[in-house]
Structure 1
Amino acid sequence: MGGVLRRYGPVLTAAILLAVAVWLLLLVVLPQLLMVDFSFRPSLPPSKAGGPEDVYTLRNYATLWTNQIHLAIFLKTIWASSLVTAVTLAVCYPVAFYMAQVAPRRRLPLLVLMLVVPFWINELLRTFAWYIILAFNGPLNALLVGLGIFSEPQRLLGGDAGVIIGMVYVYILFMVFPMMNAMESLDRNQIEAARDLGAGWLRIHRRIVIPHAKPGIAVGCIMTFMLAAGSYAVPALLGGPQSRWFTEVIYNWFFEGGNWNQGAAYAFILLILCVAFILLMMRLFRVGLTDIAK
């Protein structure tokens, strides 16, 4: 804070802090408070609002545990989001390590650009591209049949597989860059010393690289899980009735069922899930908020 004050002066610093405070209050705090208030109230017609029936209740939260279909979708969303996070981590770890420790410095801007440029396109368009790729008569099925892996085209859309593939692609940057940022600060001499002492690549990564990159891995897992659990466009476009996401249920409560109170309760449950996942990652990787903020 002292550095910001010295750099920008008291007037500009005060203006920046005021803008941040207003942004947090209007776009983060107040909507969340309204959502919490809605979630504890029953869904009533306007004529009964503020009347004797308009009292705080846990009925909206209890609905999730009594509705077996919604509970199954909620649990499947947790499992599938965790799977998306694990697959994205497995795909992005070698990419992040190569860019941070192996790639020549002169090639790094080009590699970063190759990763970023596809994401200049809107997320919906990128998801529609995967809809075409995974279609029954799409190029992926044609390639797999041509290679003899499948004897006939398979339905890759309308199930969990298509949704997971789409999400891994959509959120890949949120895993790559935090890990790359953490790995860049690792001294290459430590890796070279370990190799000179006879350590294999698996042991080098397990004993040197991964412990050093724990904050970046934690941030990548947190961001990927939260985005996957809160995604609506990807499961709506690539999924089907058998692969519904919890966000689709929330959307139905708000915009089709007209029950904003029930939708707010479900949304708050999803928020609690994401906070619990953050705490789990911090405990699993033994990192604090200061480490994550780096």
Structure 2
Amino acid sequence: MIPFRRLALSSAAAGLLLSACVTDGATPVATPVAQPPAAFQAQLLEDVRILASDEMQGRDTGAPGGEMARNYIVGRLDALGVGAPMMGRLQPWEMTGRTREGPKTFNGVNIIGVIPGTRVSDKYIVVTAHYDHVGVSNGQIYNGADDNASGVATMLALAADLKRQAPEHSVLIVALDGEERGLLGAKHFVEAPPVPLESIAMNLNFDMTARAETDGKLWVTGTWQNPQFRPVLDRIPADGAVALAFGKDTPQDIGEDNWVESSDHAAFYKAQIPFLYLGVNYHPDYHRPSDDFERITPSVFVSATNLSIASFRALDQSLDR
């Protein structure tokens, strides 16, 4: 998540990915599909552990650690059998972004995968999660386990689920670069999308999905701007100790309590593309060197990822109906 003026399973749920929907009238209802619990949890945590390791040096845009993270994500998408769009797997860009010292030109790279839909193949849900973080400062590595290795891991878990059970709409899986430097990768993606902009049905953005123990909530921002999504997600039940919560998107939400432009979904919002942002609340390790893998509670992270996948499935089934 972009900073605001500062740098500063349950056992029953662990084995389930909420990855399918059935209908009750016209309203989709998420239902669980059993997956091997040990394998699912192990891969989810391994993705975060590797992306948030000291070797990645905080994954700053244009830095060697960012390239290492990019290579890892590309390898994971290849291993899952997620194809690339016609333009290719990588989308390089050059843009001016912010640093503590002032504006600077960054060379970043977005990573794109595509999964064809079975019912509406010419409309796309763009699922995003930024893989960059703030790098190294004063000799300390900002590993960014929650921000946003967690969102990337949740997105990869969703991609794996979509390869097991194909989506109804086509899906672009996009690991964005340069979020911490001013949403640079997202802005470039919207300016030069791999598919016509009018074919993008919505953006679903994951940013900080691991540390929901702060308030027991995985926040959904964007239903005030896109009220059609609220009844679709309202019926998704809590998973373990984590439940969906809606807000941080009204005119009454000000400053740090308004997340409408706090992450990559803002670029889609400004392009008038419907969006939803899923993420946890701020915690003491946000944008600090202490945002490490060891601070993640596995059962909480698994529950939040289950809810993220359930949200995608419900949205996928409800669009165009």
Normalising TM by the smaller chain, what interval? Answer: under 0.3
Greater C-alpha Rg: 1
Question: TM-score under structure 1 normalisation?
Answer: 0.27
Which is helix-richer, 1 or 2? 1
Question: TM-score under structure 2 normalisation?
Answer: 0.26
